[in-house]
Structure 1
Amino acid sequence: MPKKTAVKDYIRTIVDFPHEGIMFRDVTTLFADPRGFRMAIDQMLHPYAGERIDKVVGLEARGFIMGGAIAHQLSVGFVPIRKKGKLPGRTLSQDYKLEYGEAIVEIHEDAIQPGEKVLVVDDLLATGGTASAGIKLIERLGGEIISCAFIVDLPDLGGRKVLEDLGMDVHVLCEFDGE
């Protein structure tokens, strides 16, 4: 077995999941390996050394894993953005388009205070739909997004351009061509 020297080496590809023609990039193998997980957290933190961050926002669901670990390392609060109906308190909602249909994400309306500096985290950037919806929620609460960080970018799907067109700084650890 070849030595794993990069985050990308820890991510497996599952062919035809969840349906035929999809190359699913599975980060659970990265999360399960202590060296790989530490490498990913360290690399996601590196660009923000010395930067003021008040909150880390994780996008459902794998963004919670990375976001929680990053918030811990930074000694800042963690805020989840969840699918509709999953948060118990008063929420703000934002709809967004999926490849086939629509979805809604929510944030607690008291999760972020105006002027707080926010880092948005998720595992994978595809079309940018979920991240865009999360950005809109954070901005509606008055949060200032310093950057959006992802483990994987699928550049063929255009999500990075979508976020950059919203004025976002985007940081990714690796890319995979195709879907």
Structure 2
Amino acid sequence: MGIIGSQIKPFTATAFQAGKDFFEVTDEDVKGKWAVFFFYPADFTFVCPTELEDLGEHYEMLQKLDVEVYGVSTDTHFSHKAWHDTSEKIGKLNFPFLGDQNHVLARNFDVLREGAGLADRATFVVDPDGVIQLVEQTCEGVGRNANELVRKIRAAQYVRNNPGQVCPAAWEEGEDTLAPSLDLVGKI
């Protein structure tokens, strides 16, 4: 079975978030709002801080969409704090980072590079019911784009809130959607 449409699996992780003490996050904490699990290979690396900074620039907008963001790597919460305290890019970020040194989350989302102990570069969007709605995964050297992530989240939220409607390619909020029916077959 594919991961799209599946329920997130149980987990408990220790989080670091700027201005807060370390705290626990579980699968139960995620339910009731939209969530992004933003996996990256490791702290103190090269492409990762550019992606995380880009995501951080969209964090306030995502919060307004009732979306919580979790940065996730197989590093510890202590490493996340040290990276935050020493990196100009990471030091600006306000969303929580989950430590996954036991690889529970990376295995739950099937992004663990066995033998390397690192997570693949992957993004998962989870709806308020704890169901995975979107997945993006790239190779090691290809960074992600937070603008596209926000667009996809808006589309997923629209589809959830408007049963019977779907969003065509490159759909932006406020544009026309489609209502799939036999009348449309062969006419698009």
Q: TM-score range by the shorter chain?
A: under 0.3
| Structure showing the higher strand proportion among its residues | 1
Of structures 1 and 2, the one scoring higher in RCO (CA 8 A, sep 6+) is: 2
Normalising by structure 1, we get a TM-score of 0.26
Structure 1 or 2, whichever has the larger Rg, is 2
